[in-house]
Amino acid sequence: MKALVKSRAERGLWLEEVPEPEIGINDVKIRVLKTGICGTDLHIYEWDAWASKTIPIGLTIGHEFVGEVVEFGSNVPDLHVGQIVSGEGHVVCGRCRNCLAGRRHLCAFTAGVGVSRNGCFAEYVVLPMSNIWQHAHGIPLDIASIFDPFGNAVHTALAFPVLGEDVLVTGAGPIGIMAAAVARHAGARHVVISDPNEYRRNLAEKVGVTRAINPITTTLKSTEKDLNMHEGFDVGLEMSGNPQAFRDMIAHMSHGAKIAMLGIPADPIAIDWNQVIFNQLTLRGIYGREMYETWYKMTVMLESGLDISGVITHRLNWRDYEEGFAAMRSGNSGKVILDWAD
């Protein structure tokens, strides 16, 4: 089958012919229909320091997908051929303390689809049945293909109650924009998003925020004044990994505010801890998605009117993957979807 493979220890990604994956008794084989390109895939393409120490050569990459079930093992009780599914990209051990307690998103021995085991940028992908999410009828395939990053957004946006609260999102990448839309849908009053990238601020405005500000030219203080806010933001969603964005956020939260952090900083960040202590802030790191409460919430929010379709800016055939990666690299993109159906 055709697959996009990290076959050399250098910048790039190569289209190769690889053997079709085989299934065990607990596995599901899926024909891939659409995939999303993640920032992680771009790191692997670019072969940065993280990628070169993490990714085994010869790996088929990719972890955001939707597809149809073509085959399953003898232990799999409830799937049928042709069923539309996505996959949770964290394959957990099932045996550690957190897994046994049902907190699988906290597993300490996670394997990553398209990171440490073969991924979905291919005609077929195989996953354990416990990693399969069966889509509800009526979820568009484009949206189903980005349930993984949508799940990051939902996991972060719903980490703390947002009903009636003022929410600050730093970073209008695809995940920040989706998180802003989720906070709105979940009843936040003002949702302010910041990003120096104009293309992405425009995209955020299209998907729906109170203000999309350029942090270089507009201060949070003036934005608060403009919105008649007096005591700062109640909930922060850090979606940039940028040190200055994080410091700015901490300085503009209300007393007792809560910050959920998804963005991954490249290096350690120094902050003014006095602001955390005297303002009694709560900081919480967020990783992946809750299995499978986040997936359930994503489905139900879409069914109750949440529209994230505006975050998808590029739809390309898989053969044009170089164009898709270039769009990601430029920053002038939201989600980039590759179609594998033909």
Q: Which residues contact ligand NAD by CB under 6 A?
A: 39, 152, 170-176, 194-197, 200, 215, 239-242, 244-245, 262-264, 286-288
Is 137 one of the catalytic residues? no
The stretch among 12-20, 37-45, 95-103, 151-159 that binds Zn ion (CB under 5 A) is 95-103
Residue 42 near which of Zn ion, ligand NAD, none (CB within 5-8 Å, type-dependent): none
Helix axes 174-185, 147-157, angle to 10 degrees: 50
- Phi and psi for 322 in degrees, rounded to 5? -60, -40
- Phi and psi for 247 in degrees, rounded to 5? -65, -40
**138 within 8 A of 300, measured Cβ to Cβ:** no
Dihedral over alpha carbons 258, 286, 311, 112 (to 10 degrees): 180
Nearest to 247 by CA among 215, 226, 272: 272
Residue 176 near which of Zn ion, ligand NAD, none (CB within 5-8 Å, type-dependent): ligand NAD
Residue span 100-129 as binding mask against Zn ion, x where in contact by CB under 5 A, dash where not: -------x----------------------
Could you tell me the smallest distance in angstroms from the CB atom of residue 53 to ligand NAD? 16
Cα distance between residue 152 and residue 118, in whole Å: 21
The answer to the question of whether 120 is labelled as a binding residue is: no
> What residues contact residue 278 under an 8 Å CB cut-off, 6+ apart?
none
Q: Examine residue 91 and tell whether it contacts Zn ion (CB under 5 A).
A: no
Q: Examine residue 227 and tell whether it contacts Zn ion (CB under 5 A).
A: no
The answer to the question of whether 107 is labelled as a binding residue is: yes
DSSP string, 105-126: GG-SS-EEBTTTB--SSBSEEE
Helix axes 174-185, 198-207, angle to 10 degrees: 30
The answer to the question of whether 99 is labelled as a binding residue is: yes
Burial 137-151 (b: 16+ CB within 10 A, else e): eebebbbbbbbbbbb
The answer to the question of whether 286 is labelled as a binding residue is: yes
Could you tell me the smallest distance in angstroms from the CB atom of residue 34 to ligand NAD? 18
- C-beta of 114 vs 241, nearer to ligand NAD: 241
Q: Examine residue 93 and tell whether it contacts Zn ion (CB under 5 A).
A: yes
- C-beta of 21 vs 173, nearer to ligand NAD: 173
Among 99, 125, 259, 261, binds Zn ion (CB under 5 A): 99
Please identify the residue of the shown chain whose CB is closest to the bound Zn ion. 107
Cα distance between residue 289 and residue 148, in whole Å: 8
Q: Examine residue 96 and tell whether it contacts Zn ion (CB under 5 A).
A: yes
Nearest to 48 by CA among 8, 5, 10: 10
Please identify the residue of the shown chain whose CB is closest to the bound ligand NAD. 173
How far is residue 164 CA from its own chain's centroid?
A: 25
Is 218 one of the catalytic residues? no
Q: Per the annotation, where are the binding residues for NAD(+)?
A: 175, 195, 200, 262-264, 286-287
Q: Residues within the annotated binding site for Zn(2+)?
A: 38, 63-64, 93, 96, 99, 107
Residues classed as catalytic: 40, 43
Binding residues vs Zn ion (CB under 5 A): 92-93, 96, 99, 107
